[in-house]
Every structure is written in C-alpha cells, then in structure tokens.
Chain A
Amino acid sequence: MKNNLLVSTIIGLNVFAMSQVTHASSTEKPQVPAWTGAALAETISAMPKGDIQRGQVVAKDMMCIACHGEQGKPYTMNFPSIQGQTQEYTMKTMIDYREGRRWESYKRADVMVKIAENMTDQQIADVSSFYAAQTTTAWQKPTATYEQAKALVTTGDMSRMVMACAGCHGAEGQGNGVTPALAGQIPQYFVRTMQAFHEKDRVNDVNGMMDQFTKGLTPEEIQAIADYYASLMC
C-alpha cells in the first residue's frame, strides 16, 4: 500500500497527457471579459499582501509541488517552472484560472482550474510570494542557436513587427510585475505557450499583445528563443 497516491497520480497524469484531442467537456469555458491594462492593474493591486512562510505551506497543501517541484522548478519538462516567477504574474495566472480566463483547450488547464477554484485570494498571494522569493536557475545549457535568439530577444525585428521580448520581459528574462519572468523556463512549455497564443487558444494577456508582437516568428525561431531563455538564470 505504499505510494498509493503516486500510483494513481501517475496513471491519472498519463491519461491526462495522452488526451490531446479536444473533446466537448461537460463544463464549457465561461465567458470572461478580456483584460484591459487598467482592470488588470486594479485587480492585482487589490490583492492582499503575501506571506512567504504561509506560501510554502500552501504550496504543499495545494500540492503545487507535485508538478512544479519544491521550489517551483518542475521535476519533468511537462510543467512550467514557476521558480522565481514574479509575484504579480503568478497571482494573475491563478486568477485567470479561477475565473476561467485561462482555459486552454489542449486540456492542460483542468488541474489548474480546479485548484484555483479552491483557493482564496490570500492563499494565492501567499503562494505567489513564496515562488517569487526563490532563485531562478537555468533549465539547460545554452544551445547553438543562443546568439541568434539573443539578437531577436534584445532587438526584435521591426520588418516583421516582431518586438524585442526583453523590452517587457527584462534584459535577463527576469520579468516585470504582471509580465512574466522567462529565465529558466522549460522550453517545451515555452513553445506550447507561443502556439497557444498564435492559435488564440490562450487569450488571457492584455490586448492580445503576445499574438500581435510575435506572429512573425518562425517555429525555428520560437524554438531558439525557448532554448535561450531556458539557459538563463537570475
């Protein structure tokens, strides 16, 4: 009878990861208004102050650590790193899940939606401050495309309306307020997220900016940028 939960968790997750095909769910995506910059700023500033110690307890109680790791660095490539993520961005993410604004149809959101629905503002603030207090470490070593990606990240390509990622996400990929840190991010998650933005599967950003500013990127470039950020730490 040992590790019973793990057995069922693994089996559950396996199935979960396999179910890529969209299927009408019994609970449909709620209609939630898109964020405006002002509404988002107001919502975030209305959140309670977070407590790191309490946040560590929440991370355990809500089993965040089961997928995202003890300090927010996941054990596998399947889940995003939230180690050192800005407090504001993690809070925004949890609010988006809770309200159904983030509800990707590639079926990875189910777990997060249910967890978020069962969390209070205080718990969200606490756990977000706990992860923000962790140091970001790199996920992988730099790859051959590092320099090419760095050029795109720092200067963009105006001929294709590709904005410099660093402009919002920070010179070191450290993030800024509600704009997420990207340093140390799992490349598979990064690529999947970009696809979701481009396919409008993910629309929880302000003014659809992520789609607009990155539409011109080729799949190879997205991969290169993913590998670049995965190799950063801060």
Chain B
Amino acid sequence: MSQLENKTFDQKVTRRDLIKLFGASAVAASGIFGASSQAFAKSAAHVVILGGGIGGSTFAKYLRFADADVKITIIEQYPEYITCLRSNDVIAGMHTLDELTFNLETIKSKYHVNVVIDTVVGADFNKKTVRTAKGDNFSYDKLVVSPGIDFKFEDYEGYDAELAATDFPHAYKAGPQTLKLREQMLNMRQGGTAIIAPPQNPFRCPPGPYERASFFAEYFKKHNPTAKLIVLDPKERFTKDVPFKKAWERLYGYKSDNALIEWVAGSEGGRVVRLDAATKTVETDGGDFKADLINIIPNQRAGVLAQKLGLTNASGWCSIDRYSMESELHKEVYVLGDSAIADAMPKSGFSANSQAKVCAKAVADTLKGKNLEDPVYANVCYSLAGENYGVSIAAVYEVRDGLIQPKGESAGVSEVTELTAQPILESVYQKNWQRQFVKDVFS
C-alpha cells in the first residue's frame, strides 16, 4: 500500500495533511470532500470503488453496514452527481436540476468513506492498483467499478458527441443537455414536428425514452396542440408498451386522426441510421424524416472506463458472476449497474442499487472468508405517461440456470384497468419512491 493511503487512513487527517497529500488545488477544488477522519487498522482490507453514481455510492454505504473495519475509497470524477432519475421531469418543468443534484459528503462523513474527486485513467490488475488523471495511485484488495454507460455514436452517420453537446442533445446523462432539450421543446414553432429516436436494446432506463415522449406530448397538448411527436424506434416492442400506449390513447389521441404522438416500429422503418444536422433530417430504413427538433438517444455500451480497463466482452458490456457481480474476466474486480450484464434485470438505478447491495455482502463475506449466499435482486421502474399518470414494472430476481431471472410470479407490469385512480396512484408512488430512493443511495 502506498504511503499516501497509509497516511490517509491511519491518522486523523488535517487540512494541512490533505494539502500535503493532494496538493492545495485539489483540496480547494474538492472542498468538503477528501479523506475520512476515521482511523483504520493498517491490516484492514482496502476496497476501491470507481464511480460514485448510483451503484458506487450505494455499494460504499452498504459495504460499511456489512463491515465496520474495511477501508473504503470512492474515486469519482465529478464533485456533484445529477441523477438521471426524474431528469425527464426537468424537461417537462416538474423538477429543477438542483433538486436532482447530490454529492458524496454524507457517504464520506457518515460511513467513513475516503472520497477522491479525480478521473480514473487506468489500472494494473496484477499489481492491484488504479491510476488517476492527477497522477495518484491507489492500491486495492477489491476493486468495484460502476461507471455507467457510453454512447455508440458510430451507429448514426452524421451524429457525434459534439453535436450532442450542442444542437442535438441526447439528454441521456442528466445535465446541460437536459436543459437544452427542454429549451428546444419550449421554443419549437407552433405546429412543428419533434422526433425522439430510442436506442436498440440493451440500454439504460428502458422506459426513459417513452416517458420522455409522453412528456413532450403532454406539453404539446397544453401549449402547442398542432405539433406532433414522432417516435422512431428500431424495436418492435418496448417495456411497458401496453400501458404506455393505452395512456397515449387516453391522453394524447394516439392512433387517432389528430394524434399528438406517433410511434414507428423498426419493421415500419423506425430505425434511424443517419442524421443530417444541416437540414434537420434523419434517415431511417423507411425513408427521411424532417423535423424541428431531433432527440436521438444513441445505442449504448458499458462506460468508457469499463472498456478501458478491459472489463467488457464482445457485446460491449461486462460479464459478471451472478452470485457476486465479480467480473468474469478479472478476479477481485466487480462491476455494477448499467455496465454489467445482468440478464433479465433492466439497466436502472434501482437495479444498480440492488446489485450494489448484493455485491457489498459478497465482498464483505469474501473478505471474511465466508461462503457466498444465494442473492436476491429486485427492480421497480416507475414511469410517468403524464404528470398524473404512472405506469410501473416490477420483479424480484434470483439466479436460476446460471442467469438472473424473475423469481416465481413476482414479475409484472401495470395492468390496464378502467379504474380512474390507478394511474393517479401510480404517479404518487413514483414520486414517493424517488424521494426515498435517493436517500437510500446518498444519505
């Protein structure tokens, strides 16, 4: 273990020490972050977490619950984390980005986790060290990687990260692009056409594009009633499509002559293959669509960091042991959340959180030389098809035949009923769930 880490963990660290360790600018920049003041035994194992998003943050907290003595470090590139959860609401104007912004301060102080704000640039799995952009090295006993997703812009001729950062935001990582897309929706001309192009499976938050489409339709209904939203989908079906489409029928005239929303399946030419930014036209298998607003949500693969570290397989995602989330490619390295191949589990914050808890227990048990227990995973995705119209999908998962699969009859999607209150109640549960969930992750 490097001297730096011994010092960080074994002594009460003062601001002066921090400056010596990290340099004045690092301390100033990271502000309240930095080393935990908890003293740990020299012999204690060190678990290093790369990425302090939903998966990484939950893991740190729950590993602390499982083991009071282990040393834990999170390395996260940004001092603040904006949740994608409810970021579609920001587009709709129901939330502000501020309300979705969290940091790792509580994780650090309450759970004695060393928080480092820096970008991880590499790792040496033999020496068991990771390297950051600022040039620091951290040695680990167990490494946990939860870096989110990366976009496959190459699947769309004429589309790239730069266009996404300017006039064609994908807004699939919450932040400035979210606000940009909102602005574009608000400023779209009366009677204009908007396009949302969801990605091919698998991708982060399977209902996300359709919730977003619903919010566009709801906004148009109120403020731009002659506008139209076209969803150009490479797929034949999408998650919760039955209740979503029912909601679109009920609320936005879906399938009627004056529908605010139209959905084009892959077999009908929905797959987007090219963007002509200059003329605001997308080309699909079925022909060209010209629009006033184009929101391509690109196909995805595991986060850049997972690729860089060699944790991905040919699919572009990370294969893991279903009992522990340990990488099948590198021992003592665990992959959580969107980057991991978790079979039937969707790539959601809820899933990342659930996987982090399973993994925390597996890591703690392994460190103590205990056998692993059979894991139970869970996921619920609440989405809104309108401000007061919720639809959900839920399942509890177990490992069966080597795969993560729904347990018994636990899996289900909101039934379409004629009960007025059902979608209203689901919209309330959604808000309550979100409020509780972010507490489970960050405090």
Contacts and interface: CB of A to CB of B under 8 A. Distances in A.
B421 A7 contact: no
Contacts of A24: 99
Nearest to A2: B409
A8 B432 contact: no
A144 interface: no
B417 A15 contact: no
A190 to B, nearest CB: 24
A97 B148 CA distance: 41
Max chain B Cβ within 10 angstroms of own Cβ: one of A9, A13, A24: A9
Contacts of A151: none
A111 B433 contact: no
Nearest to B388: A114
B99 A26 contact: yes
A107 B420 contact: no
B241 to A, nearest CB: 14
A1 B414 contact: no
B346 to A, nearest CB: 15
A63 interface: yes
A4 B417 CA distance: 11
B414 A4 contact: yes
Given A1-B413, A8-B394, A11-B380, A16 B429 contact: yes
B417 A115 contact: no
A4 to B, nearest CB: 3
Interface string B384-398: 000010001110000
A205 to B, nearest CB: 25
A158 interface: no
Given A8-B429, A16-B432, A26-B89, 19 more contacts: A2-B409, A5-B415, A7-B412, A8-B393, A8-B426, A9-B429, A11-B380, A11-B429, A12-B382, A16-B429, A19-B435, A61-B419, A63-B419, A66-B421, A110-B432, A114-B425, A114-B428, A115-B425, A118-B421
B421 A61 contact: yes
A61 B420 contact: yes
5 contacts: A8-B393, A11-B433, A12-B433, A16-B428, A62-B420
A18 interface: yes
B410 interface: yes
B411 A1 contact: yes
A11 B394 contact: yes
A62 B408 CA distance: 30
A60 B419 contact: yes
A110 B382 CA distance: 16
A24 B421 CA distance: 25
Contacts of A2: 409, 412
Contact of B421 (A16, A107, A115): A115
Contacts of A38: none
Max chain A Cβ within 10 angstroms of own Cβ: one of B388, B415, B436: B436
Nearest to B411: A1
Top 6 nearest A-B pairs (CB, nearest first) are A12-B429, A4-B412, A63-B421, A8-B392, A62-B421, A16-B432
A198 to B, nearest CB: 25
Interface in B85-123: 89, 94-95, 99
A3 interface: yes
B380 to A, nearest CB: 5
B439 interface: yes
Interface string A78-113: 000000000000000000000000000001001100
Contacts of A63: 419, 421-422, 425
Given A19-B436, A63-B419, A63-B421, A8 B428 contact: no
A42 B241 CA distance: 47
Given A7-B412, A8-B380, A115 B429 contact: no
Contact of A21 (B393, B417, B422, B439): B439
Contacts of A7: 394, 410, 412
A74 to B, nearest CB: 16
A21 B436 CA distance: 9
B273 interface: no
B424 interface: yes
Contact of A107 (B382, B412, B425, B432): B432
Nearest to B94: A26
Interface in A7-60: 7-9, 11-13, 15-16, 18-19, 21, 23-26, 60
Nearest to A58: B420
Contacts of B421: 61-64, 66, 115, 118
A27 to B, nearest CB: 8
Contact of A15 (B94, B414, B432): B432
B302 to A, nearest CB: 28
B420 A118 contact: yes
Contacts of A107: 432
A11 B436 CA distance: 12
A213 to B, nearest CB: 33
Interface string B127-164: 00000000000000000000000000000000000000
A14 B327 CA distance: 33
A9 B414 CA distance: 10
A114 B427 contact: yes
B180 interface: no
Max chain A Cβ within 10 angstroms of own Cβ: one of B89, B410, B432: B432
B431 interface: yes
Given A9-B429, A61-B420, A114-B428, A23 B435 contact: yes
A216 to B, nearest CB: 35
Nearest to B410: A7
A9 B394 CA distance: 10
Interface string B242-274: 000000000000000000000000000000000
Contacts of A115: 421, 424-425
Contacts of B428: 12, 16, 110-111, 114
